[in-house]
């Protein structure tokens, strides 16, 4: 598969999740393991441009796809507009959920689900934040959308 634009080849057991392959084999630890059971969204990455929960995706199932993780968003030292908006709007506290929130937000903006605050909340509802930074997260998504 391609990961953040680079071809990567892995030999993995058929039970290994994409999340574990990214974190433990490719050392891309930006993608977080919150619940490991599809409930929190911290592990969100893009596979062929669509957001997926990498804890519920088998690495073998991603064979031949293009995977983007949070490490693949910035252009060198230049943050992605969504990352910049999260920083400017204080869209985080501890930051553990943030990579997943950012990956969801990037996809959500591309999908065009940013018509209102309510729509953003609905389409970001799979990403939980234990710190409760939701107000600022929504503000960041709307600010990033304006700049996109
Ligand atoms: Fe995948 Fe929580 S770690 S949804
Ligand atoms: Fe702490 Fe979201 S910023 S869990």
- Which of 18, 38, 130, when mutated, tests ligand 1's pocket best, judged by the most ligand atoms within 8 Å of its CB? 38
Work out the pLDDT band at 147, boundaries 50, 70, 90. Answer: confident
- Alpha-carbon separation of residue 62 from 19, 66, 122, 133 (angstroms): 11, 8, 27, 32
130 lines ligand 1 (CB under 6 A): no
Answer yes or no: do 17 and 68 share one domain. Answer: yes
Tell me how far apart the alpha carbons of residues 92 and 82 are, in angstroms, rounded to a whole number: 13
Q: What is the largest CA-CA distance in the chain?
A: 44
Q: How far apart are CA 112 and CA 45, in angstroms?
A: 18
What confidence score (pLDDT) does residue 148 get? 67
Tens digit of each residue's pLDDT (9 = 90 or more) over 95-136: 999 999 999 999 999 999 999 999 999 999 999 999 999 999
Same structural domain for residues 62 and 6? Answer: yes
* 25 and 64, same domain (yes or no): yes
Q: Range of 54's domain?
A: 2-72
The CA 130 to ligand 1 mean position distance, Å, reads: 13
C-alpha distances in Å from residue 119, one per residue of 50, 69, 115: 18, 24, 6
Q: Measured between alpha carbons, how far is residue 51 from residues 6, 125, 136 in Å?
A: 19, 13, 21
The pair of structure tokens assigned to 70 is 């949070």
Q: Is the CB of 34 under 6 A from ligand 1?
A: yes
SS3 36: coil
Tell me the pLDDT tens digit for each residue of 40-82.
Answer: 999 999 999 999 999 999 999 999 999 999 999 999 999 999 9
Distance 35 CA to ligand 2 centre (A): 13
Note whether 25 and 63 are same-domain residues: yes
Looking at 18, 44, 72, the residue that finishes a domain is 72
68 vs 4: CA distance, rounded Å: 5
């Amino acid at each position: 598969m391609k990961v953040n634009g680079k071809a990567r080849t892995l030999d993995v057991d058929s039970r290994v999740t994409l999340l574990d392959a990214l974190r433990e084999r490719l050392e891309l630890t930006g993608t977080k393991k919150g619940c490991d059971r599809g409930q929190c969204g911290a592990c969100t990455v893009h596979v062929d441009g669509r957001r997926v929960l990498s804890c519920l995706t088998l690495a073998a199932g991603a064979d031949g796809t293009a995977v983007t993780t949070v490490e693949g968003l910035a252009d060198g030292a230049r943050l992605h507009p969504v990352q910049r908006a999260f920083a400017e709007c204080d869209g985080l506290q501890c930051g553990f959920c943030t990579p997943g929130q950012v990956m969801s937000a990037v996809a959500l903006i591309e999908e065009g689900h940013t018509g209102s605050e309510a729509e953003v909340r609905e389409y970001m509802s799979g990403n939980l934040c234990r710190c409760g930074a939701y107000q600022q997260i929504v503000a960041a998504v709307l600010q990033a959308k304006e700049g996109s």
